Amino acid sequence: MNQTDNGASGIPTRKLGSFSVGAIGLGAMLLSREGGPDERSAIRTLHVALDAGLTLIDTADTYCTNCSDVGHNERLVAKAVHSWSGSRDEIVIATKGGHCRSADGGWHLDGRPEHLRRACEASLIALGVDVITLYQHHRPDPKVPYEDSVGALKDLQDEGKIRFVGIGNASVTQIAQAMEIVGVTSVQNEFSPSFRTSLEEIEFCATRGVAFLAWAPLGGMAGAGTLGSRHPAFEEVARRRGVSAHQICLAWELATAPTVIPIPGARKPQTILDSLRAADLKLDPEEIAFLNANGPAASPLPARSPGRNPERSAADLLSGRNVAGGSGRRTAGFRSSRASS
């Protein structure tokens, strides 16, 4: 399901429903969180990204500072896209509902069908559109039967309010359950060098042609700045290649499966421009094996969930092999056949 040819933007593309979007998207949350840029600077960052060929922007109704400003990020993204001088035909704005903000700035879940309907209708207004291209159930609510939450999105799709349905933070069991109710276009789960337990979901999606949107692909707000120091293997490959550790990280994620689309965040134009360069970066098999084998030195991998193997290699995923267990071995160094790296 990988679109290897470059799109009109010049960036390699991958399939998202019937769309071909850039292999690297943008998670817009940082533009509306505490410590984010002012509106003018945020819009400039989005315009620079769009000029560079970005075609997928991921937002959510609750990307804001508190419950009094719900929809801030959606309105910001819509303003940036509508004020951009380029063609908007290939731009996909994906949004989400079901993860709410409280008065104190905290978070809580609401997967009730009536809430998801209200949230979707509010997002239509915030984005200034008649149909949302990709609407995602943000996170399962343990208080609500999952089939009820997913069923609400199917109803919204049947009514023509959303074009494609996505789900987020879902297990393989939940993905399969959702697919019995509605056509699932995408799954958005966390995936990064520190968080590899989504490999099972990635493999499941890859074998079914479902796009996997990797959130926090660089380690999230707290981890992106220290990615190289926390993951020396990525820093080593970056030095040999003469690129940033961020680019190596995103290229490694792209190599994991042809349906993976990382959506890194950015507050500044130079950050997203660096990330977008990873779409053209092809890692050698030796580099991929080295990165797979060398987990984080300072930050241990999350505890395994029952039945998961978080260190299942990219080669196993791409070849379709089902590996029941891993050797747990780590290589001490990297040797590449690449002369310049």
Amino acid at 119: A
CA 66 to chain centre: 23
Residues 141 and 213: their CA atoms lie apart, in Å, by 20
Question: Using CA atoms, how far apart are residues 266 and 52, in angstroms rounded to an integer?
Answer: 14
Examine the residue annotation and report whether 63 is marked as an active-site residue of this protein: yes
**Helix H or strand E segment including 27:** strand 26-27
**Separation of alpha carbons 277 and 23, rounded Å:** 10
Which of 28, 32, 53, 63 is catalytic? The answer is: 63
Structure tokens at 339: 């002369």
Six-digit token string for 8? 């009109």
Neighbours of 163 (CB within 10 A): 16
Helices 245-256 and 232-241 pack at an angle, to 10 degrees, of 100
- Of the candidates 69, 163, 148, the one whose C-alpha atom is nearest the C-alpha of residue 116 is 148
- Measured CA to CA, the distance from residue 54 to residue 48 in angstroms comes to 9
Query: How many CB atoms lie under 10 A from the CB of residue 282?
Result: 9
Task: Decide if 168 contacts 135 (C-beta within 8 A).
Answer: no
Q: Which residues are catalytic?
A: 63
